[in-house]
C-alpha cells in the first residue's frame, strides 16, 4: 500500500523584479511551501519532513534574487515551486507536486512528470 503525504511549512523571504516591462522594488512576503509525496510506508515520513525543512532553511529570511539556484531567473512562486520539486526529487523522494503560496490569493503549483 502506498501513502500520499503532504506537509506545509511557512517561510519569510524578500525578492524584487527587474524585467523589461515588469519592475518591482525589493519587498518581502510570508510565503508557504506545501508538498505532497508518495510514500511506500509511514516510516518514510521523517525523511520527507527533513528534506522539506532543508529546503525551507535555504530560503527562510533570504533575498531570493541572491540564491545560486535561482541565478538568471525571476524569483517567482513558479520558479520556487519548480526548484523545491527538483530538490525533493534529488533527495530520492517521489514528490507528486509542490505548491508555493506567495500571498493569500496567489500561488503556483508544479507537478512531477509534467513537461513545461
Please write the tens of the pLDDT for every residue from 46-100: 999 999 999 999 999 999 999 999 998 999 999 999 999 999 999 888 899 999 9
Q: Please report how the helices 77-90 and 45-59 are oriented relative to each other, as an axis angle in degrees rounded to 10.
A: 140
- The answer to whether the CB of 30 falls within 8 A of the CB of 10 is yes
- Determine the pLDDT at residue 116: 54
Fold topology of 3-111: Tetrahydropterin Synthase; Chain A (3.30.479)
- Determine the pLDDT at residue 17: 87
Contacts of 29 by beta carbon, 8 Å cutoff, 6+ apart: 12, 13, 14, 15, 102, 103
- The answer to whether the CB of 35 falls within 8 A of the CB of 56 is no
- What is the average pLDDT across 9-33? 92
Query: Left, alpha or beta for 72 (phi > 0: left; psi -120 to 50: alpha)?
Result: left
Domain range list for the chain: 3-111
- Determine the pLDDT at residue 22: 81
Amino acid at each position: 500500500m502506498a501513502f500520499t503525504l503532504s506537509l506545509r511549512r511557512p517561510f519569510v523571504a524578500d525578492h524584487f523584479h527587474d524585467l523589461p516591462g515588469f519592475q518591482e522594488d525589493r519587498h518581502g512576503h510570508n510565503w508557504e511551501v506545501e508538498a505532497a509525496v508518495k510514500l511506500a510506508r509511514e516510516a518514510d515520513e521523517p525523511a520527507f519532513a527533513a528534506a522539506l525543512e532543508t529546503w525551507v532553511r535555504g530560503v527562510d529570511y533570504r533575498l531570493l534574487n541572491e540564491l545560486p539556484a535561482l541565478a538568471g531567473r525571476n524569483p517567482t512562486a513558479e520558479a520556487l515551486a519548480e526548484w523545491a520539486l527538483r530538490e525533493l526529487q534529488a533527495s530520492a523522494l517521489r514528490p507528486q507536486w509542490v505548491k508555493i503560496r506567495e500571498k493569500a490569493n496567489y500561488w503556483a503549483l508544479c507537478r512531477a512528470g509534467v513537461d513545461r
